[in-house]
Structure 1
């Protein structure tokens, strides 16, 4: 069964900033979303040949993020968009999973190469040869599936339908409303659902059930962060401050997920437990897991603090008031 882990955070600030800057002059929700979708769609097309060449892992990483952001826009702003039948978040999700499998394997190898191997003895490094062989084989298979997906009629028709809509967009009545009048509604439902997730209250993250809950929470945090970023710069300083906090939370939970996946993958190749056969690697994994867990447990209560949550809600409302034009009353 292929291994899976999350991507590293890198190189996406420019993409977000560019899309947000282009959308900053939009008056209506529809205009704002159109600009975001156009930027992400352009990014996918530009990265397509580089991903197929597979000479550098970074274009795949960037394409995966662009696809995630595009899908998030389609979900978040669905009530404002009148899209053709061929364009949907569900259709895009399949292509995203193909990209994700290959990217996750790249991240796994990167973690081994940069954060673990330099601290292992030669004897323990040699014991990892079966792991590297399996990783190489699965990465080759994942690239084959990725190529098939990006060449498929299903994916190409989706892009064609989206680009056709971008040339002649259509919006619902809500999409014709001023963006500034609806900022809290476009943000708070996702944040409210996120803050009610049970994984915030876990005191131990080592069990399989706990790890799955934390993985779900990490995905929820990432989605909420993207949704807040989708409304910049109109949504103001409150949303921006929470974007940074959520990004840190996502990184910590991502580390925990990667370490759990890596441990399981390595132990599948060993006749004995990791602690028995490779004590150095076992100690490193325990050390890194402990550091990430301590960071997470320090951050989580701060995000859940009643005063912080209240300030978030009040801040979003104040940001709306600051961004809304003054309208004369009669």
Structure 2
């Protein structure tokens, strides 16, 4: 979980300080891009060593955040043809497959297998072996991508652009007068996603909503040093919504994988396993109905719109250090 954030004004009650007028839209975007590009370089050796799943997770998050920054601030940037969101997406998909298999294995090994009867636990061994084989193949593909000329050339172009960044006319303008546009762009269409209106925990629209929520989070967090502290509560709620929807998706994938590997109906051959999955799905669905219903209420939607449209800004405390990136 992400660390707690500032929940309001400081103890003196003073409003947030204005941001420095010197920083431009382009410079702010370039700082975000530079931060993630540097992280990609630092994480690559640890990912290729494959001794701990966490560096892979962090690499995946950095790729996503880099993609978000490039798309979000594209109107302010002049990038060479070799740098694009689509090129980064190719590698991100490789990391996604490996990470999803890591999550499935972790869920099985630490949360599911210890609670099952011996008979069902032993019968799941073929599924665990299949997941291990699938993960090995997925990692081989990922390692090839990370070592590929195409990916290394992309990183080289990013570093070269950062040495002499080029901006559009919008990119040269001060950031502060344009914060309203950047905030609105990050959230636009969020509550029009079909997933908000779904009544089926297996609806693919929920997975689409989760990805949209994640994009909104990343977009707002790219502006977070200059956001009203009240928005931190929204970021916390969006992270919780993302986690709940992610758990529902993982459980659905787990059920499908087990049914495919075991070649039988889990509810008949694995009653305890089936009961565990259904219980987790039911609990997760109830949590989503409560949180999703609250977030999409008229009053809350209007409150967010007002917050985005007419808030103070604050001065950043300084250059962010190397911290753990939240998914």
For residue 261 of structure 2, what is the aligned residue in structure 1? 269
1:208-262 deviation per Cα after TM superposition (whole angstroms, max 9, x unaligned): xx1x111111111111110010001112224322111110000000000000000
Work out whether residues 193 and 209 of structure 2, in 8 Å CA contact, stay in contact via their aligned partners in 1. yes
Work out whether residues 183 and 316 of structure 1, in 8 Å CA contact, stay in contact via their aligned partners in 2. no
Q: Larger relative CO (CA 8 A, sep 6+): 1 or 2?
A: 2
In structure 1, C-alpha distance between the alignment counterparts of 2:39 and 2:159, rounded to whole Å: 12
Picking from 31, 35, 38, the partner of 1:42 is 38
Work out whether residues 190 and 213 of structure 2, in 8 Å CA contact, stay in contact via their aligned partners in 1. yes
Instruction: Please identify, of 165-174 and 197-206, the stretch whose mean Cα deviation from structure 2 is larger.
Output: 197-206
CA displacement at 1:13 relative to structure 2? 5.9
CA displacement at 1:203 relative to structure 2? 1.7
In structure 2, C-alpha distance between the alignment counterparts of 1:93 and 1:293, rounded to whole Å: 30
CA displacement at 1:32 relative to structure 2? 1.0
Equivalences, count: 300
TM-score (ref. length: structure 1): 0.87
In structure 2, C-alpha distance between the alignment counterparts of 1:151 and 1:243, rounded to whole Å: 35
More helix by share: 1
For residue 246 of structure 2, what is the aligned residue in structure 1? 254
Say if 2:43 is the partner of 1:64: no
In structure 1, C-alpha distance between the alignment counterparts of 2:155 and 2:189, rounded to whole Å: 31
In structure 1, C-alpha distance between the alignment counterparts of 2:144 and 2:313, rounded to whole Å: 48
SS of residue in 2 equivalent to 1:233? helix
CA displacement at 1:58 relative to structure 2? 0.7
Picking from 243, 247, 251, the partner of 2:235 is 243
Work out whether residues 227 and 313 of structure 2, in 8 Å CA contact, stay in contact via their aligned partners in 1. no
TM-score (ref. length: structure 2): 0.88
1:2-23 deviation per Cα after TM superposition (whole angstroms, max 9, x unaligned): xxxxxxxx5x769xxxxxxxxx
In structure 2, C-alpha distance between the alignment counterparts of 1:237 and 1:318, rounded to whole Å: 13
Structure 1 unaligned spans of 5+: 1-9, 15-23, 325-330
In structure 2, C-alpha distance between the alignment counterparts of 1:63 and 1:189, rounded to whole Å: 26
In structure 2, C-alpha distance between the alignment counterparts of 1:87 and 1:189, rounded to whole Å: 22
For residue 147 of structure 2, what is the aligned residue in structure 1? 151
Pairing of 1:70-219 with structure 2 (within 5 A): 70-206=66-202, 210=203, 212-219=204-211
| Dislocated runs of 4+, deviation >6 Å | none
For residue 3 of structure 1, what is the aligned residue in structure 2? none
In structure 2, C-alpha distance between the alignment counterparts of 1:187 and 1:88, rounded to whole Å: 22
1:64-103 deviation per Cα after TM superposition (whole angstroms, max 9, x unaligned): 1011100110011110111111111011000111111111
For residue 281 of structure 2, what is the aligned residue in structure 1? 289
1:262-298 deviation per Cα after TM superposition (whole angstroms, max 9, x unaligned): 0000011224311000000111101111111000000
Work out whether residues 109 and 135 of structure 1, in 8 Å CA contact, stay in contact via their aligned partners in 2. yes
Picking from 16, 24, 29, the partner of 1:28 is 24
For residue 278 of structure 1, what is the aligned residue in structure 2? 270
In structure 2, C-alpha distance between the alignment counterparts of 1:179 and 1:119, rounded to whole Å: 54
